[in-house]
């Protein structure tokens, strides 16, 4: 009697919860009616499976017409658990699963960016994956019933996602997407949508021109990024993953034509989209984390007083040949008359001046640049992907900021702190010591010319260095 009463209670709960589910899913929009029916069936079978018993006895996995069939024998379930799991993996849910997984990948990229704020390429990647997930959701809602307006929405979302992803990879290598190539890709997508939707309707033709436009947007950064020297193997892996994704997008109309004829292939194709996004996020996050490994592996990696890189760590991040690390300009700087400040105001004020100057240098450089305390009051900067004009502009901003600071009260006592700089271009075959030697010579010449001077190596062959 107690068991019969228990089964009666289970049946009442099942009917109650199924009625609630039907109420929540009633009166849908016409295009969502099929989805409502499948979700309603899913909820019914889920409730029954959860309330009817637990006791696994055997399980098996196989393919079926509606997706993946997972056969699990539960005591008292009468096959309902098998139906529930089979319905859960039906192809109608797979595009939504792709959107959810892409959103998850975007969240991971955003979380890593939160702890590495200088790596804005992670934020761009997160935005691109979110836009791609939205495009997948629109396709899942409309599918073959999509009209002109829905195709425009999907095209805009897909194009914006491609631009954001391409920008994230380009930023990783100190470059930006080219507007002309973005415009070309968008133009191909727009003209193709107009022709194959309104003039000569063809779903396959529309897909081909859309894939071509997206491939133009994604792929135009590849020649530049491949031509640059990679700092470590993870950057090379990132380029390989990104190249594979660009090729996959270009070939997608023909690959998906095979998937349409097979439900199993369609399921695999739907999972390929978030898998590609996951590989790209893994490679990008790996590059971000690998950037700090040379510093972490150098033992005395940080200067105890200023928190900047030590000389040993500076040598490690620059490498034996700085050009292979995309370092374009090396800067050496020295605080003018620092010894007099130290003697007049004491070592406490002197240490505070060194810390403040170190913070000013660190806050002035960009992502990927390196700042170190070479020794005493001498500092070094390794600037990536920059020309000499922009490097000089950076030094001017630093000297301007120096005039605005109090420097531990020394300015109030009539002592204005200044610094001298030596800027040397890094040539293709330069060793680190050769480039540093030229920067040191320029720094010494700047100090000999007077305080608050900048020695700049002439870019043109045969020209004399300038001092400002």
Task: Give the tens place of pLDDT for each residue, 360-382.
Answer: 998 888 877 889 999 888 999 99
- Give this prediction's pTM: 0.55
* CB 312, CB 298: distance < 8 Å: yes
Looking at the fold, whether 98 and 84 belong to one and the same domain comes out as no
Q: Are residues 277 and 425 in the same domain?
A: no
Which residue bears the tokens 């529309």? 206
- Nearest in space to 419 (alpha carbons), one of 396, 438, 436: 396
Please give the structure tokens belonging to residue 225: 């990024």
- Asked if 161 and 187 count as a contact pair (C-beta separation under 8 A), the reply is no
* Helix 33-51 vs helix 80-88: crossing angle, to nearest 10: 140
> In sequence order, what are the residues at sequence separation of 6 or more whose Cβ sits closer than 8 angstroms to the Cβ of residue 290?
232, 234
Residue 392 shares a structural domain with residue 418: yes
Q: Are residues 80 and 31 in the same domain?
A: yes
One domain for residues 322 and 433: yes
Chain centre distance of CA 48: 43
- Our CA angle for 65, 75, 80, nearest 5°, is 30
Give yes or no for a contact between 77 and 115, defined as CB atoms under 8 angstroms apart: no
Co-location of 317 and 390 in the same domain: yes
Q: Read off the tokens for 401.
A: 């900021």
- Give the Å distances, CA to CA, from 433 to 231, 378, 426: 19, 16, 11
Calpha distance 274→245 (Å, rounded): 11
* Kind of pairing between the strands at 327-335 and 67-74: unpaired
Q: Tell which of 89, 113, 146 closes a domain.
A: 89
Q: 180 and 281: one domain?
A: yes
- For residues 349 and 436, membership in a common domain is answered with yes
Note whether 63 and 116 are same-domain residues.
no
Alpha carbon 404 to its chain's center: 36
Q: Report the distance separating Cα 168 and Cα 126, nearest Å.
A: 9
Question: What pLDDT is attached to residue 185?
Answer: 92
- Domain limit, last residue, from 61, 89, 117: 89
Q: What is the pLDDT of residue 303?
A: 84
**CB-count exposure of residue 64 (10 Å: 0-12, 13-18, 19+):** middle
**Nearest one of 366, 363, 362 to 380, comparing CA atoms:** 362
d(CA 407, CA 398): 14
Phi, psi dihedral angles at 225 (to 5 degrees): -70, -35
Domain of 178 in residue numbering reads as: 94-291
Neighbours of 282 (CB within 10 A): 17
Provide DSSP, 195-241.
IIIIIS--HHHHHHHHHHHHHHHHHTTHHHHHHSPPSSHHHHHHHHH
Q: At what angle do helices 120-142 and 263-291 cross, to 10 degrees?
A: 170
* Structural domain total, the chain: 3
Please tell me the total number of residues recorded for the chain in this structure. Answer: 468
Q: Which of 228, 261, 291 is the last residue of a domain?
A: 291
Q: Cβ(454)–Cβ(400) under 8 Å?
A: no
One domain for residues 127 and 206: yes
What whole-number distance in Å separates Cα of residue 159 and Cα of residue 445? 53
Residue 176: burial class (beta carbons within 10 Å; 0-12, 13-18, 19+)? exposed
b (16+ CB within 10 A) / e for 432-449: bebbbebbbbbbeebbee
Q: How does pLDDT run along the chain (468 residues), one tens digit per residue?
A: 444 444 444 454 445 444 544 444 444 444 445 554 555 555 455 544 444 444 433 343 343 433 333 344 444 444 444 444 444 444 445 557 788 889 999 999 999 888 887 788 899 999 999 999 888 887 777 655 656 677 788 889 999 999 999 999 988 877 789 999 999 999 999 898 888 888 888 877 888 898 899 999 999 999 988 877 666 788 889 999 999 999 988 888 776 655 444 454 555 666 788 889 999 999 999 888 877 665 555 444 788 888 888 888 888 888 888 887 788 999 999 998 888 888 888 888 888 889 889 989 988 888 778 899 998 889 999 998 888 988 999 999 998 888 887 665 555 455 678 899 999 999 888 888 999 999 999 999 988 888 888 999 876 444 444 555
Q: Are residues 39 and 103 in the same domain?
A: no
* Block residue for tokens 């991040």: 317
For the chain, the helix, strand and coil percentages under 3-state DSSP, each to the nearest 5? 65, 10, 25
- Which structure tokens are listed for 409? 């009260």
- Together in a domain, 219 and 127: yes
* Residue that has been written with the tokens 């030094």 in this structure: 395
Locate tokens 């990008």: which residue? 284
CATH of the domain at 431: 3.30.70.270
């Amino acid at each position: 009697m107690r068991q019969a009463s228990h089964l009666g209670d289970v049946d009442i709960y099942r009917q109650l919860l199924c009625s609630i589910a039907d109420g929540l899913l009633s009166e849908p929009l016409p295009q969502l009616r099929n989805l409502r029916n499948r979700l309603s069936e899913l909820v019914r079978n889920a409730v029954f499976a959860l309330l009817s018993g637990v006791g696994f006895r055997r399980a098996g996995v196989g393919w079926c017409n509606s997706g993946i069939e997972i056969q699990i024998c539960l005591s008292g379930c009468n096959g309902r658990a098998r139906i529930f799991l089979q319905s859960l993996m039906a192809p109608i849910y797979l595009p939504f699963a792709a959107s959810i997984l892409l959103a998850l990948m975007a969240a991971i990229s955003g979380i890593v960016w939160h702890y590495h704020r200088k790596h804005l390429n992670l934020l761009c990647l997160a935005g691109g994956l979110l836009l791609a997930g939205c495009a997948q959701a629109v396709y899942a809602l409309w599918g073959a019933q999509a009209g002109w307006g829905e195709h425009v929405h999907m095209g805009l979302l897909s194009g914006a996602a491609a631009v954001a992803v391409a920008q994230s990879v380009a930023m990783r290598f100190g470059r930006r997407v080219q507007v002309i190539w973005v415009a070309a890709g968008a133009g191909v997508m727009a003209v193709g949508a107009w022709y194959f939707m309104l003039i000569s309707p063809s779903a396959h033709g529309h897909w081909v021109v859309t894939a071509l436009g997206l491939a133009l947007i994604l792929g135009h950064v590849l020649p530049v990024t491949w031509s640059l020297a990679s700092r470590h193997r993870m950057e090379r892996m990132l380029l390989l993953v990104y190249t594979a994704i660009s090729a996959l997008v270009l070939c997608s109309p023909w690959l998906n034509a095979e998937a349409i004829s097979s439900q199993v292939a369609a399921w695999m194709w739907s999972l390929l989209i978030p898998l590609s996004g996951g590989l790209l996020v893994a490679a990008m996050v790996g590059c971000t984390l690998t950037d700090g490994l040379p510093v972490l592996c150098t033992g005395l990696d940080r200067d105890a007083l200023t928190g900047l890189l030590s000389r040993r760590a500076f040598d490690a991040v620059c490498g034996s040949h700085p050009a292979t690390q995309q370092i374009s300009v090396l800067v050496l700087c020295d605080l003018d008359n620092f010894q007099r400040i130290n003697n007049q105001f004491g070592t406490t004020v002197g240490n505070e001046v060194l810390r403040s100057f170190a913070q000013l240098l660190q806050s002035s450089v960009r992502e990927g640049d390196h700042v170190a305390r070479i020794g005493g009051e001498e500092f070094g900067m390794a600037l990536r992907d920059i020309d000499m004009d922009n490097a000089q502009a950076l030094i001017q901003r630093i000297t301007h900021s120096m005039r605005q600071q109090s420097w531990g009260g020394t300015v109030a006592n009539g002592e204005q702190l200044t610094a001298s700089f030596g800027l040397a271009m890094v040539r293709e075959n330069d060793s680190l010591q050769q480039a540093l030697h030229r920067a040191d010579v320029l720094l010494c010449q700047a100090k000999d010319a007077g305080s608050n001077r900048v020695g700049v190596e002439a870019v043109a062959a045969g020209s004399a260095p300038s001092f400002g």
